[in-house]
Amino acid sequence: MTLALLGILVPVAGALVAFAWRSERSRPLWLPVVAAVHLAVTICAVVAYPQPSAGRWLMLDPPGRLVLLLVSTLFAVVSVYGVGYLRERSERPNRIFCACLMLFLGMMTFIVWAHHLGLMWVALEATTLSSGPLLYFNRNARSLEATWKYLMVGSVGIALALLGSFFLGYAAVQAGGEPSLLFDDLVRNAPGFSKPWLQAAFVLLVVGYGTKMGLAPMHTWKPDAYGEAPGIVGALLAGAMTSCAFLALARVFHVLTAAGEGAFAGRILVVLGLFSMAVAGVFTVRQRDLKRMLAYSSVEHMGILAFGLGLGGSGIFGAFLHMLNNGIIKGVMFLSAGNIHRAYDSKYVEDVSGALRRVPWSGALFLAGFFAVTGSPPFGPFVSELSILNAAMEQHRWGVAAAMLGLLLIVFMGMGVTVLGVVQGEAGPSSSPSRFRDGVLNTLPALVLLAMSFGMGVAMPDAIQSMVREAADYVGGRR
């Protein structure tokens, strides 16, 4: 409980300090300081696992342990980028931006530790409110529109998730005994739940939490939000926030599995997963906006997560492994794309070419990140996507396996045309002149994340593999 409160309250306290801090120039330095303390608390929690079960409203379960490590590590790396980014954007006030970044970290940590269905819902809503102002950093009409769309669509989704929580609670009442929304109690009592109410609850919760993940067709906020957000915000939304939403969905899937309704839930997730991949494939072909392209890439990867979870068995292992790999490599893509955007003062393909010449480090990272995010060896996503594909073939589901392969190929070709056009050639005449150049603070974080992805693909640490296995076994019903 102490580690849980520290993990949540340290970023919240950091946000209050940042808000009260007077110096615009030194305020961003609080980001890596708070991130380092939070990472230290996270490592203590991961090492000390399993936690005592007393006071179970805040408790670290195996999948939460994995997500917490990802969120804290990703934030720690991108916080270094944030210092350099805010120094280069000194014309913008950063009081709200710094405070909301740290508050966002605290609320994502709250989601991970929350072991109560209602408490987790509150934490998810808090992440929407704390991250909304981050999208408006550029303060123009398009960023304002993106912010409102993010808040409105996200609020509708979370409202449906609340209704689904009520339905799940009512299904629990039908089991008799003392009703409880603690996840351990829900799983234990699930076999006696009312099946119609349970199935209706799952549909609503999939729509609600699927909206936060960005599963199609609930993804409509993503292209605008990712397209207008600063690179550091895009990295956290695509790599950390979506992982927290996936954790919420996995916990609900665990309840359905315990109730004997795993096949019902799995069919829904497989269909939604393939549909998300198909939508991403359509919109990445001939995409002219770099950041919107990354948004649709995120829609694709959320589809892969849902697909793997829906397969069950070894597919759940692949889904959690892919959650880690996706979170890491999304940091590379958004940070390097943000650098290219500032170097050209444009994110449109018509204005951007020859990035390897103008910003060689950022261009190279963007190119390497493209190969990684599309599942090319030797990077981590290749291993996790192969694990999910193997799970489908082990179950002799040849049709869905073929569909997954075909959709992955379409996304690869669609993104490849855009990415190669950006990094190759000479800077075109329409490119705006800019004094931005590669530097340590704006390239080293992406390089570190790329090295982590490479390590996950070539020699995954045994400790990480064990954590992924424990998370998969827990959600799959083997505890």
Average pLDDT, the chain: 92
Cis amide prior to 378 (ω within 30 degrees): yes
End-to-end CA distance of the chain: 22
pLDDT tens, residue by residue, 215-239:
999 999 999 999 999 999 999 999 9
Residue keyed to tokens 């709200």:
96
Query: Average of pLDDT values for 9-34?
Result: 95
Q: How far apart are CA 478 and CA 474, in angstroms?
A: 5
Burial 139-152 (b: 16+ CB within 10 A, else e): eeeebeebbebbbe
Using CB atoms within 10 A of its CB, is residue 88 exposed (0-12), middle (13-18) or buried (19+)? middle
pLDDT tens, residue by residue, 170-201:
988 877 767 788 998 899 889 989 899 999 99
Q: How far apart are CA 449 and CA 301, in angstroms?
A: 18
pLDDT category of residue 2 using cuts at 50, 70 and 90:
confident
- Is the separation of the CB atoms in 136 and 230 below 8 Å? no
pLDDT tens, residue by residue, 100-120:
999 999 999 999 999 999 999
Query: Average of pLDDT values for 297-320?
Result: 96
Query: Average of pLDDT values for 332-337?
Result: 96
pLDDT tens, residue by residue, 52-111:
554 488 989 999 999 999 999 999 999 999 999 999 998 889 999 999 999 999 999 999
pLDDT category of residue 433 using cuts at 50, 70 and 90:
low
Q: How far apart are CA 295 and CA 298, in angstroms?
A: 5
Query: Average of pLDDT values for 21-40?
Result: 95
In sign, the C-alpha dihedral spanning 194, 200, 204, 207 is positive
pLDDT tens, residue by residue, 248-280:
999 999 999 999 999 999 999 999 999 999 999
Q: How many C-beta atoms lie closer than 10 Å to residue 430's C-beta?
A: 12
Provide, rounded to the nearest whole percent, the portion of the chain with pLDDT above 90.
82
β-bridge mates for residue 289, sequence order: 348
pLDDT category of residue 428 using cuts at 50, 70 and 90:
low
Q: Which two tokens stand for residue 250?
A: 């996995």
Poorest-pLDDT segment among 276-280, 304-308, 433-437, 461-465: 433-437
Query: Average of pLDDT values for 42-48?
Result: 92
List all residues 6 or more positions away from 78 whose beta carbon is below 8 Å from its beta carbon: 232, 235, 236, 331, 335, 445
- Is the separation of the CB atoms in 272 and 216 below 8 Å? yes
Q: Does residue 479 surpass a pLDDT of 70?
A: no
Residue 425 amino acid letter = G
Of 263, 156, 124, 154, give the one whose Cα is nearest residue 202: 263
Q: How many C-beta atoms lie closer than 10 Å to residue 55's C-beta?
A: 11
Of 116, 103, 120, 2, give the one whose Cα is nearest residue 51: 2
Q: Which two tokens stand for residue 94?
A: 């950063």
Residue keyed to tokens 């699930």:
190
Poorest-pLDDT segment among 250-259, 427-436, 460-469: 427-436
Query: Average of pLDDT values for 22-49?
Result: 94
- pLDDT at position 436 is 83
- pLDDT at position 430 is 44
Provide, rounded to the nearest whole percent, the portion of the chain with pLDDT above 70.
96
436 sits in which H/E element: none
pLDDT tens, residue by residue, 134-145:
999 988 999 999
Q: How far apart are CA 290 and CA 52, in angstroms?
A: 46
To the question of pTM greater than 0.85 for the whole model, the response is yes
Q: Does residue 434 surpass a pLDDT of 70?
A: no
